[in-house]
Amino acid sequence: MHYYGNRNEYDILNASSNDSNMSNTYPRYPLANPQQDLMQNTNYKDWLNVCEGYHIENPREASVRAGLGKGLGIVSTIVGFFGGSIILDTIGLFYQISELLWPEDDTQQYTWQDIMNHVEDLIDKRITEVIRGNAIRTLADLQGKVDDYNNWLKKWKDDPKSTGNLSTLVTKFTALDSDFNGAIRTVNNQGSPGYELLLLPVYAQIANLHLLLLRDAQIYGDKWWSARANARDNYYQIQLEKTKEYTEYCINWYNKGLNDFRTAGQWVNFNRYRREMTLTVLDIISMFPIYDARLYPTEVKTELTREIYSDVINGEIYGLMTPYFSFEKAESLYTRAPHLFTWLKGFRFVTNSISYWTFLSGGQNKYSYTNNSSINEGSFRGQDTDYGGTSSTINIPSNSYVYNLWTENYEYIYPWGDPVNITKMNFSVTDNNSSKELIYGAHRTNKPVVRTDFDFLTNKEGTELAKYNDYNHILSYMLINGETFGQKRHGYSFAFTHSSVDPNNTIAANKITQIPVVKASSINGSISIEKGPGFTGGDLVKMRADSGLTMRFKAELLDKKYRVRIRYKCNYSSKLILRKWKGEGYIQQQIHNISPTYGAFSYLESFTITTTENIFDLTMEVTYPYGRQFVEDIPSLILDKIEFLPTN
């Protein structure tokens, strides 16, 4: 299926017409060739010569897109599996993921080739034939052994009393564990030095499968090794060690690539690398903790609260991107600082015109925090009505979300300084039952425009365009830069969050429910939101002395009992007070003396609650034994997630 975004960035459609349209390739590769100077040094005739009409996606482009889509689909599969009904005697997650990576007819390792091609184009480097060949041969060998294990696991499930089936299965498991260790060594910094970034998504996928295999040892181990009491425990320790090893490797090399772009001052490349590696590496490793079957023995309702950012529309135009201004300036203009999780409620737009060009000159986001009815207004970006023009609003209906969008902006024609601003936006909005289009439109039909689509806005499987009832991301914010080069040149970026996030903080009746603390409805005191480390799936809440927060929850079922557990880290002894509220008063309280975890995340078992109301609040407050002044500048209590575990 061809998307609008599959066309080249400057393809012209219907160019003989006065109403010419161009399609913006999104994302655009390679990263290592910044486009800031392209148009300012090219006249209109020469610029037209690079346009080749309607573009049909070639096999390489299709492969690159498939590599990104595979990462999207695997994360959705993991979230869906743990959020569904896990029946141990039916198909497992290891089998599902292996089938995605090795489809039945994929004898040439096309899926793995797609993943490699995606990263090659992302960072504009190539894997040598020797390194690629070694990896492909290793993966082909691994495919056969994975299939063999899956087949024997099914045979054993079909006939669990067969000692022959059991003996063969355990042998296959042990051998496959060793094979995964070998495969990891082939693609890591020892087996492929110098290619760590190019092979990082491959490494993440192999690591993911290996940890899922080790998870099988916890699920079935009491039956596999009934005569060896310590075998299951030994594999559990291996799983914990491998989780740490794989997570640290992915984070370290991801940060290495990120810092390379930062050092080079290439913000466009930095942002695209950050987005695509989030989708293909970081989202996957953020799932690793819930593979611990002892901490998470049943279904887990989990969420990804991280935010990703589009390429900047007009980012290639002089004056709107580095090196015209600093890397730090670009980051502040086109992304948001860490914040509580927000839900987009609408926009206020200002439309202005110069001569015959009518365009979006400024805008403001409207948003709310989770389970907080107050509508907040973000800072106004661009030129307001003080410069003339008219104001209009777009309101997103309650319980509705923007799951897809496209934009049009005037094309840049050198040497004239005509506006290149957005002139039209189409927001596809869903309430999960139907779709409607909300449109901002300012352009006149006789002006040539460029259309931009967003290729990562796919269905959950990552295989086709998003639909109203099957989508991967939703729009969370729009950012406008109208301050660096006057009213006629604006840059725009869009922020998106994952569709797994529950707008109501619903506590599932019979599943473990994980809710990131960054989804608090309000905060107070000396509290801040901190950028996540990359493996938590979102940002973190840092609480200092005498700070507090409120989280509101919705119970799926009344009169259910849950253990409350908190994932946290702390470098200083502190006191955490949890309270469950009913109306204006709290009905439960638990005070915890928190010991330092010295940089590592730990779990705090708190009180047991009963869902006596459909909607209820929990508050958290922090105090320190030596008072605020003593610890003001010391790293404080950092909260990741709160979890509700059904007691039955």
Q: Please tell me the distance from the alpha carbon of residue 281 to that of residue 202, in angstroms, as a whole number.
A: 9
Q: Are 643 and 514 contacting, i.e. CB atoms less than 8 angstroms apart?
A: yes
Say what the pTM is: 0.90
Residues of the chain with pLDDT under 50: 1-55, 86-89, 631-632
- Which domains does the chain possess? 59-295 (1.20.190.10), 306-498 (2.100.10.10), 506-646 (2.60.120.260)
Helices (H) and strands (E) in the chain, counts: 12, 27
- 96 by DSSP, 3-state: which? helix
Amino acid 48: pLDDT: 32
Q: Which strands form 491-498's sheet, in the order they lie side by side?
A: 307-309, 491-498, 473-481
pLDDT over 70 for what percent of the chain?
A: 87
* Joined tokens for residue 74: 């695997």
Q: Please tell me the distance from the alpha carbon of residue 525 to that of residue 135, in angstroms, as a whole number.
A: 52
Residue among 457, 335, 359, 336 at smallest CA distance from 402: 457
Q: What is the pLDDT of residues 387-403, one digit of tens each?
A: 889 999 999 999 999 99
Q: Please tell me the distance from the alpha carbon of residue 212 to that of residue 210, in angstroms, as a whole number.
A: 5
3-state secondary structure 328-358: HHHHHHHCCCCCCCEEEEEEEEEEEEECCEE
Q: What is the pLDDT of residues 533-548, one digit of tens each?
A: 999 999 999 998 889 9
Amino acid 52: pLDDT: 35
User: Could you give the count of Cα atoms lying within 13 Å of 257 in the half-sphere of its Cβ?
Assistant: 32
Q: Are 69 and 280 contacting, i.e. CB atoms less than 8 angstroms apart?
A: no
Report in angstroms the alpha-carbon separations of 612 from 561, 577, 644. Answer: 9, 21, 15
User: CB atoms < 10 A from the CB of 265, how many?
Assistant: 14
Amino acid 446: pLDDT: 77
Q: Are 419 and 389 contacting, i.e. CB atoms less than 8 angstroms apart?
A: no
Amino acid 58: pLDDT: 77
Amino acid 61: pLDDT: 86
3-state secondary structure 547-562: EEEEEEEEECCCCCEE
